Amino acid sequence: MRLFSERGFRATSVGDIEAAVGLQPRRGALYKHFASKQALLEAAVREDLAKAGTGAAQLGDLQLAVDDPEALRAVVLALGRWFLGEMDRLKDLTQVIEHDGQRMVDLTGAVKVDMVDLSYQSAAALIAGVAPEVRDPEATAVVLLGALVAVRRTAWTFGSPPLDLGDDRVLAAWADLVVGVLSRPA
Protein backbone atom coordinates (compact mmCIF):
# COMPACT_ATOMS: atom_id res chain seq x y z
CA MET A 1 0.00 0.00 0.00
CA ARG A 2 2.89 2.34 0.83
CA LEU A 3 4.32 2.12 -2.69
CA PHE A 4 0.93 2.77 -4.29
CA SER A 5 0.48 5.73 -1.96
CA GLU A 6 3.90 7.23 -2.67
CA ARG A 7 4.12 6.57 -6.40
CA GLY A 8 0.59 5.97 -7.60
CA PHE A 9 -0.73 2.78 -9.14
CA ARG A 10 0.69 3.25 -12.64
CA ALA A 11 4.17 4.27 -11.47
CA THR A 12 4.48 1.31 -9.11
CA SER A 13 5.85 -1.68 -10.99
CA VAL A 14 5.39 -5.31 -10.05
CA GLY A 15 9.18 -5.47 -9.70
CA ASP A 16 9.05 -2.59 -7.18
CA ILE A 17 6.46 -4.46 -5.16
CA GLU A 18 8.40 -7.71 -5.24
CA ALA A 19 11.60 -5.98 -4.14
CA ALA A 20 9.79 -4.17 -1.31
CA VAL A 21 8.54 -7.45 0.15
CA GLY A 22 11.87 -9.25 -0.22
CA LEU A 23 11.13 -11.21 -3.39
CA GLN A 24 13.41 -11.39 -6.40
CA PRO A 25 12.19 -8.58 -8.70
CA ARG A 26 10.72 -9.40 -12.10
CA ARG A 27 10.65 -13.16 -11.54
CA GLY A 28 6.86 -13.43 -11.34
CA ALA A 29 6.65 -14.33 -7.64
CA LEU A 30 3.85 -11.82 -7.07
CA TYR A 31 1.68 -13.70 -9.56
CA LYS A 32 1.87 -16.84 -7.43
CA HIS A 33 -0.21 -14.97 -4.83
CA PHE A 34 -2.22 -12.44 -6.84
CA ALA A 35 -3.61 -12.54 -10.35
CA SER A 36 -2.48 -8.97 -11.02
CA LYS A 37 -1.17 -5.78 -9.50
CA GLN A 38 -4.81 -4.61 -9.38
CA ALA A 39 -5.77 -7.73 -7.40
CA LEU A 40 -2.98 -7.02 -4.91
CA LEU A 41 -4.19 -3.45 -4.43
CA GLU A 42 -7.77 -4.62 -3.91
CA ALA A 43 -6.67 -7.25 -1.37
CA ALA A 44 -4.72 -4.60 0.55
CA VAL A 45 -7.78 -2.32 0.62
CA ARG A 46 -9.99 -5.19 1.85
CA GLU A 47 -7.49 -5.95 4.63
CA ASP A 48 -7.57 -2.33 5.81
CA LEU A 49 -11.38 -2.38 5.66
CA ALA A 50 -11.50 -5.48 7.86
CA LYS A 51 -9.21 -3.90 10.46
CA ALA A 52 -11.27 -0.71 10.52
CA GLY A 53 -14.46 -2.72 10.95
CA THR A 54 -12.98 -4.45 13.98
CA GLY A 55 -12.13 -1.10 15.57
CA ALA A 56 -15.61 0.27 14.93
CA ALA A 57 -17.18 -2.83 16.47
CA GLN A 58 -15.08 -2.34 19.60
CA LEU A 59 -16.23 1.28 19.80
CA GLY A 60 -19.82 0.09 19.62
CA ASP A 61 -19.28 -1.92 22.80
CA LEU A 62 -17.99 1.10 24.72
CA GLN A 63 -20.09 2.53 27.52
CA LEU A 64 -19.39 6.12 28.59
CA ALA A 65 -20.68 7.77 31.74
CA VAL A 66 -20.96 11.52 32.28
CA ASP A 67 -21.31 11.53 36.07
CA ASP A 68 -17.52 12.06 36.41
CA PRO A 69 -16.38 14.73 33.92
CA GLU A 70 -12.68 14.06 34.55
CA ALA A 71 -13.09 10.33 33.91
CA LEU A 72 -15.14 11.13 30.79
CA ARG A 73 -12.43 13.54 29.62
CA ALA A 74 -9.76 10.86 30.08
CA VAL A 75 -11.78 8.42 27.97
CA VAL A 76 -12.47 11.07 25.33
CA LEU A 77 -8.76 11.91 25.16
CA ALA A 78 -7.92 8.23 24.72
CA LEU A 79 -10.55 7.90 21.98
CA GLY A 80 -9.19 10.98 20.19
CA ARG A 81 -5.64 9.64 20.38
CA TRP A 82 -6.84 6.26 19.08
CA PHE A 83 -8.72 7.96 16.22
CA LEU A 84 -5.64 9.94 15.15
CA GLY A 85 -3.60 6.73 15.34
CA GLU A 86 -6.12 4.99 13.10
CA MET A 87 -5.91 7.86 10.64
CA ASP A 88 -2.12 7.57 10.63
CA ARG A 89 -2.40 3.81 10.09
CA LEU A 90 -4.76 4.40 7.17
CA LYS A 91 -2.86 7.30 5.60
CA ASP A 92 -1.59 5.23 2.67
CA LEU A 93 -5.06 3.85 1.99
CA THR A 94 -6.52 7.36 2.09
CA GLN A 95 -3.97 8.63 -0.40
CA VAL A 96 -4.46 5.64 -2.71
CA ILE A 97 -8.24 6.20 -2.69
CA GLU A 98 -7.73 9.89 -3.48
CA HIS A 99 -5.35 9.27 -6.37
CA ASP A 100 -6.41 5.91 -7.77
CA GLY A 101 -9.91 5.36 -6.43
CA GLN A 102 -11.35 5.31 -9.94
CA ARG A 103 -9.47 2.03 -10.49
CA MET A 104 -11.67 0.35 -7.88
CA VAL A 105 -14.98 2.16 -7.71
CA ASP A 106 -16.75 -0.60 -5.76
CA LEU A 107 -14.01 -0.73 -3.13
CA THR A 108 -13.90 3.06 -2.89
CA GLY A 109 -17.61 3.00 -2.11
CA ALA A 110 -17.02 0.28 0.47
CA VAL A 111 -14.29 2.38 2.13
CA LYS A 112 -16.73 5.31 2.35
CA VAL A 113 -19.50 3.18 3.85
CA ASP A 114 -17.54 0.65 5.91
CA MET A 115 -14.79 2.92 7.17
CA VAL A 116 -15.64 6.60 6.96
CA ASP A 117 -19.38 6.45 7.58
CA LEU A 118 -18.98 3.67 10.14
CA SER A 119 -16.57 5.84 12.15
CA TYR A 120 -19.09 8.66 12.28
CA GLN A 121 -21.96 6.28 13.04
CA SER A 122 -20.01 4.75 15.93
CA ALA A 123 -19.28 8.20 17.32
CA ALA A 124 -22.93 9.20 16.87
CA ALA A 125 -24.05 6.11 18.80
CA LEU A 126 -21.68 6.99 21.65
CA ILE A 127 -22.96 10.57 21.69
CA ALA A 128 -26.60 9.46 21.67
CA GLY A 129 -25.95 6.98 24.47
CA VAL A 130 -24.22 9.49 26.70
CA ALA A 131 -26.12 12.65 25.82
CA PRO A 132 -29.62 11.86 24.54
CA GLU A 133 -30.42 15.58 24.62
CA VAL A 134 -28.06 16.22 21.68
CA ARG A 135 -30.46 17.09 18.86
CA ASP A 136 -28.52 15.51 16.01
CA PRO A 137 -25.91 12.98 17.16
CA GLU A 138 -24.82 12.17 13.59
CA ALA A 139 -24.14 15.79 12.63
CA THR A 140 -22.47 16.35 16.00
CA ALA A 141 -20.22 13.33 15.38
CA VAL A 142 -19.28 14.70 11.95
CA VAL A 143 -18.39 18.10 13.43
CA LEU A 144 -16.42 16.65 16.36
CA LEU A 145 -14.50 13.94 14.47
CA GLY A 146 -14.17 16.21 11.45
CA ALA A 147 -12.00 18.51 13.54
CA LEU A 148 -9.51 15.69 14.11
CA VAL A 149 -9.67 14.67 10.46
CA ALA A 150 -8.86 18.25 9.44
CA VAL A 151 -5.85 18.40 11.76
CA ARG A 152 -4.41 15.18 10.41
CA ARG A 153 -5.18 15.87 6.77
CA THR A 154 -3.59 19.34 7.03
CA ALA A 155 -0.44 17.74 8.43
CA TRP A 156 -0.37 15.23 5.56
CA THR A 157 -0.93 17.85 2.90
CA PHE A 158 1.32 20.62 4.20
CA GLY A 159 3.84 18.72 6.29
CA SER A 160 2.66 20.11 9.63
CA PRO A 161 -0.63 20.53 11.49
CA PRO A 162 -2.52 23.84 11.60
CA LEU A 163 -0.54 26.49 13.48
CA ASP A 164 2.07 23.74 14.06
CA LEU A 165 0.06 22.54 17.06
CA GLY A 166 1.03 19.14 18.42
CA ASP A 167 -1.44 16.33 19.00
CA ASP A 168 -1.44 16.78 22.78
CA ARG A 169 -2.52 20.39 22.56
CA VAL A 170 -5.16 19.74 19.91
CA LEU A 171 -6.52 16.71 21.75
CA ALA A 172 -6.74 18.63 25.03
CA ALA A 173 -8.87 21.35 23.41
CA TRP A 174 -10.89 18.75 21.48
CA ALA A 175 -11.59 16.74 24.63
CA ASP A 176 -12.80 19.90 26.39
CA LEU A 177 -15.23 20.54 23.52
CA VAL A 178 -16.48 16.96 23.45
CA VAL A 179 -16.97 16.81 27.22
CA GLY A 180 -18.78 20.14 27.06
CA VAL A 181 -21.18 18.80 24.44
CA LEU A 182 -21.74 15.52 26.30
CA SER A 183 -22.12 17.12 29.73
CA ARG A 184 -24.45 19.97 28.97
CA PRO A 185 -27.80 19.78 30.71
CA ALA A 186 -30.90 18.73 28.81
The CATH number given to whatever domain includes residue 107 is 1.10.357
What is the C-alpha separation between 127 and 132, in angstroms, rounded? 7
Segment holding 93, helix H or strand E: helix 91-100
- Overall pTM surpassing 0.95 (yes/no): no
On whether the CB atoms of residues 108 and 97 are closer than 8 A, the answer is: yes
Q: What mean pLDDT comes out for the span 16-28?
A: 81
Q: What is the pLDDT of residue 66?
A: 63
Assess if residue 24 is contained within a domain.
no
Domain range enclosing 175: 44-183
- Phi/psi for 39 (5° steps) reads -65, -35
On whether the CB atoms of residues 18 and 29 are closer than 8 A, the answer is: yes
- Strand segments (E) across 23-176: none
On whether the CB atoms of residues 29 and 23 are closer than 8 A, the answer is: yes
Assess if residue 102 is contained within a domain.
yes
Assess if residue 113 is contained within a domain.
yes
Assess if residue 19 is contained within a domain.
no
On whether the CB atoms of residues 75 and 32 are closer than 8 A, the answer is: no
What is the C-alpha separation between 100 and 11, in angstroms, rounded? 11
Percent of the chain with pLDDT over 90: 35
How many domains are contained in the chain? Answer: 1
